[in-house]
Amino acid sequence: MLQSALKTTQNFIAGEFCSGSSQKFFDNLSPVDGSLVSRVAEASEADVDRAVRAAHKALTGTWNTISLGERCDLIRDVANEIGRRFEDFLAAEMADTGKPHSLASVIDIPRGAANFRIFSDIVRYASEHVYHQETADGLGALNYTVRKPKGVIGVISPWNLPLLLMTWKVAPALACGNTVVAKPSEETPSTTALLGEVMNTVGIPAGVFNVVHGFGPGSAGEFLTKHPLVNAITFTGETRTGEAIMKVAATGVRDISSELGGKNASLVFADCDLDKAVAGTVRSAFTNTGQVCLCTERVYVERPIFDEFVGRLKAATEKLRFGPPGEKDTDLGPLISRKHRDKVLSYYRAAVEDGATVVTGGGVPELGDTFGEGAWIQPTIWTGLREDSRVVREEIFGPCCHIQPFDTEEDAVRMANDTQYGLAAVIWTENLGRAHRLAPKMETGIVWVNTWNLRDLRTPFGGAKQSGIGREGGLHSIEFYTETTNICIKN
């Protein structure tokens, strides 16, 4: 079992690591085998206050005096330092999440570095707006905009993609001139703590980036979101938590960006490239053991190819290999915790109780005593459920999908959109006209055609309905992390 270099994971406040005033610690346990990864210092309310005040001081002090070019150079240095310490970040990420080497080494750590690199460039070269205005006296006026940092940003990120999603927020926030107090998930604290070391190494001024560890209500999450010196909050996670944060953010009328849950659908048409559709659905349903907000949990297949699709997806799923994260041929790691596994297994049982046909999976794999205390679970496929079943309606966030046949385009779109969520959708078809016709009809923030999770970091990312508020990515992130002032000069 790979172990994090951080046996004790501390808070990072004003450029220094500290255990915090409460001297309370909690265990960070490996989801692979239940072993202890690290002891994590839980931040008290006083610790969070100190972190926010350190960020506020840096905002109006040292960070404010650095030029845009110098700031963007420092942000790029962060990317380079993550690359230099690639193996440290990889080991920490695998230890916290149990994520396979084949995934974390190709996606999580490289994207963590890339987020700093791309936002350094986007902010450095972002343009402002200029408007020439006619006036009654004929002399005119000139309007132009300037962007200013929004202030202290509270960043709360989830456990499924710890480094990737944390840096997705921290990088544009810092590049835009804000300061940050970050609270990673209590399940995955290690890579965010390592970011503190990186910030010191490259010379980010003390207080610009701070990390507080803990939980939600009555802990660091609540203390951070309700702090009056936090000017905006960005959150990725469960919809109910997002609703609670929105209520707190209303006090002081503070801005919020939230990327929340999903119950994503895939539409598979009879004219698709079936090899690509099956391989793509294996990825979209089971990547990171189904613990990605973009994962597909509902698959709608045109009736003429339904049986063949189900059979081929079953065969491909049963080839996925469980194993330790450090083995490069491991396809599936564990869920994040045994608690989360209990939740997912409750849906597995509910599916059977509602009359589902279990095509494959449905339980816990036999992996021997070595992994007996881990959070392992089988990838699972069902058919035969009603559209009003809990398993079809509610986000499960595990390696599972339900497959339903359809007869017409209208039926497929109607069933796909019949959900409280609206994050992502996938359409598999070789008919370009159909793709262009149906994609705008999907009530989601993202639609992929003949692919899944192909991301250009300049494009908008976010959801509709109960999948969130706001967009991140490229200039869309800059809109959130800055305040725009219009300046009007009369000639």
> Distances from the Cα of 72 to the Cαs of 76, 77, 125, 198, 427, in angstroms?
6, 9, 10, 15, 38
Given pLDDT bands bounded at 50, 70 and 90, which one contains residue 328? confident
CA–CA separation, 462 vs 260, rounded Å?
9
> What pLDDT shows up at residue 465?
97
What are the residue ranges of CATH 3.40.605.10 in the chain? Answer: 8-260+467-490
Domain 8-260+467-490 has CATH 3.40.605.10: yes
> What pLDDT shows up at residue 8?
92
pLDDT tens-place string over residues 359-389: 999 999 999 888 989 999 999 999 999 999 9
Annotated catalytic residue 259: yes
Catalytic one among 72, 176, 272, 293? 293
Catalytic one among 45, 186, 222, 259? 259
What are the residue ranges of CATH 3.40.309.10 in the chain? Answer: 264-459
Annotated catalytic residue 187: no
Residue 29 has pLDDT above 60, yes or no: yes
The percent of residues in the chain predicted with pLDDT above 70, rounded, is 99
Domain 264-459 has CATH 2.20.25.650: no
Q: 400 CB contacts (<8 Å, ≥6 apart)?
A: 285, 290, 297, 344, 347, 348, 361, 379, 380, 381, 382
pLDDT tens-place string over residues 431-449: 999 999 999 999 999 999 9
CA–CA separation, 7 vs 104, rounded Å?
20
